[in-house]
Amino acid sequence: MSMGFGLYVRFTLRDEGAAAGFDALVAATAPKIASEEPGTLTYVVHTVEGEPLVRVFYELYADRAAFASHEEQPHVKHFLAQREQYLRDVQVTFLDATAGKLVRV
């Protein structure tokens, strides 16, 4: 039984300047995701120890429909369009949560 639909996304940024720009874009986008998307259960951005040009996103949605809704939000469309200028590489892994601890408020 699924506990949610998730993504693991690994971004590799071009250089330090690109990392700063990407981080600013994330800082502008994440609060809107938190406040405007009830189906987005978890949206966490991580830095990676020893890899200053890598960012990892862990995203968990109530279901695939919630993810589809997320992708249609204006702030997400803006993020997706703007992020390209900062990236060297992006790897996306889709996940289906099946066991573990899930906190819902």
Tokens read off for 46: 């991580």
- What is the predicted pLDDT for the residue at 105? 58
CA 85 – CA 43 distance, rounded (Å) = 22
pLDDT digits 0-9 by tens, 61-76: 999 999 999 999 999 9
Nearest CA to 62 out of 5, 1, 23 is that of 5
For residue 40, count other CB atoms closer than 10 A to its CB.
Answer: 19
The domains found in the chain, sorted by start residue, are 4-94 (3.30.70.100)
Residue spans of alpha helices (H) in 1-105:
16-36, 64-72, 74-83
pLDDT at 1 over 60: no
- Over residues 56-61, the mean pLDDT reads 97
pLDDT digits 0-9 by tens, 71-105: 999 999 999 999 999 999 999 999 998 888 877 65
- What is the predicted pLDDT for the residue at 63? 93
pTM value?
A: 0.91
pLDDT digits 0-9 by tens, 12-50: 999 999 999 999 999 999 999 999 999 999 999 999 999
